Structure 1
């Protein structure tokens, strides 16, 4: 893997981790972003990776660079529809069911419409080394699902997931946190992600849909097993 490929892979993940900071207000509209050096330390990547992620935010009109002053948030991310909040374990069932339908169809379309660059990006993401205790697992998990939706070439799928970021990240953070000591969880999730990408690469629409739906259902059932009442 070349240095440029590594930079692209990491910057795509960092970009997905920066979005909720803007959406949640941690990086407020009209506020100045941290320095590249501070962000490199925060996201544990090099400054060239940070620059690539910021470049994507600028291209989407979310931030603006001001000579001598740094980068500033110029537009907030606010979904037009407010989805229900997650306040109990029971709320995760409807979310998982909804995701099965949306993301299964997104994976099916991705198998039909994905570009080679998008497929390469998905492979780089699923092949990224990570440990079970890595605090960034939930963010990388979310980034994978968003990239599959983006490969569908239908922006409604990607925007739906971005609008559900808060709910999905809560679910994913809980799942990863409670699975730290389950040795097979990380391996199984990685295998399932990779299987979805292989089906997309083979342009097998039915298999991509089936595998994505199975993955979401498996993770939800695995979380429920022995973790009832976690949210009170």
Structure 2
């Protein structure tokens, strides 16, 4: 395997003053997306990365742990870390590089919070809550029929589920995340240009599974459906395969 070209002196030197581990995450992610480290390639060691970025090894370790948790690299005992997959190159065209780590962390938080909101919605929903959720699905269906993706309605669906939980902390938290959630939804839309109808229909089908579980009062199914939906949304944004 050819040796990658030498990296510039300290790639963090001119980057925004965000958390150092996030900056390293984004530099390495960019290198992976751009093919500097192709699938199967071994990343530099922690020591080499710490020297390159002029940071401590624990900071490098945190960045690598996030890349591992995001399914992008795989550590091998005694051998180092290797690139597991390469996200779509379109990711860097549509997402400001300084926002990628934030989008990933937002997905992590949503995966921890929204499935529980869906579980509670299944336990506590009433007719008004179900009608509110179903209304967002109707709006989304109409958008699909018109060949568009209504991000307002997409976010409204998630907000309606949070409100159906009967716990205002869920809906308040989601409103606080609105900008980040909308950014991820828009990014998903932009990356879907390869096969927009297939992807939009897939997302709508996931929404329908969530609604059906809530309407049936099936708490476990609602939890699992929302967890899968957000996990799949994250995969659609960051995996190289943007067709589904």
State if a TM-score over 0.5 links the two structures.
yes
How far did residue 155 of structure 1 move? Answer: 0.3
In structure 2, the residue matched to 1:130 is 143
CA separation in 2, counterparts of 1:173 and 1:102? 21
Task: For structure 2, list consecutive stretches of 5 or more residues without a partner in the other structure.
Answer: 1-95
Aligned ranges 1:127-166 → 2 under 5 Å: 127-128=138-139, 129-131=142-144, 134=148, 137-166=150-179
RMSD: 2.2
Task: For structure 1, list consecutive stretches of 5 or more residues without a partner in the other structure.
Answer: 1-84
How far did residue 93 of structure 1 move? Answer: 1.9
Structure 1 140/120 Cα, relative in aligned 2: closer, same or farther at 3 Å?
A: same
Relative contact order, CA 8 A, sep 6+: which one is greater? 1
Q: Normalised by the size of structure 1, how large is the TM-score?
A: 0.57
Aligned ranges 1:45-64 → 2 under 5 Å: none
In structure 2, the residue matched to 1:193 is 207
How far did residue 88 of structure 1 move? Answer: 3.0
Correspondent of 2:229 among 208, 211, 215: 215
- 4+ runs of 1 displaced by more than 4 Å? none
In structure 2, the residue matched to 1:90 is 101
Aligned pairs, how many? 143
In structure 2, the residue matched to 1:79 is none
- Which piece of structure 1 moves more, 122-131 or 216-225? 122-131
In structure 2, the residue matched to 1:171 is 184
Structure 1 202/142 Cα, relative in aligned 2: closer, same or farther at 3 Å?
A: same
CA separation in 2, counterparts of 1:190 and 1:114? 21
Question: Are the equivalent residues in 1 in contact too, given 2:159–2:171 (CA < 8 A)?
Answer: yes
Q: Normalised by the size of structure 2, how large is the TM-score?
A: 0.55
In structure 2, the residue matched to 1:74 is none
CA separation in 2, counterparts of 1:206 and 1:119? 17
**Which structure would you say has the larger Rg?**
2
Question: Are the equivalent residues in 2 in contact too, given 1:133–1:180 (CA < 8 A)?
Answer: no
Question: Are the equivalent residues in 1 in contact too, given 2:136–2:154 (CA < 8 A)?
Answer: no
- Which piece of structure 1 moves more, 112-121 or 179-188? 179-188
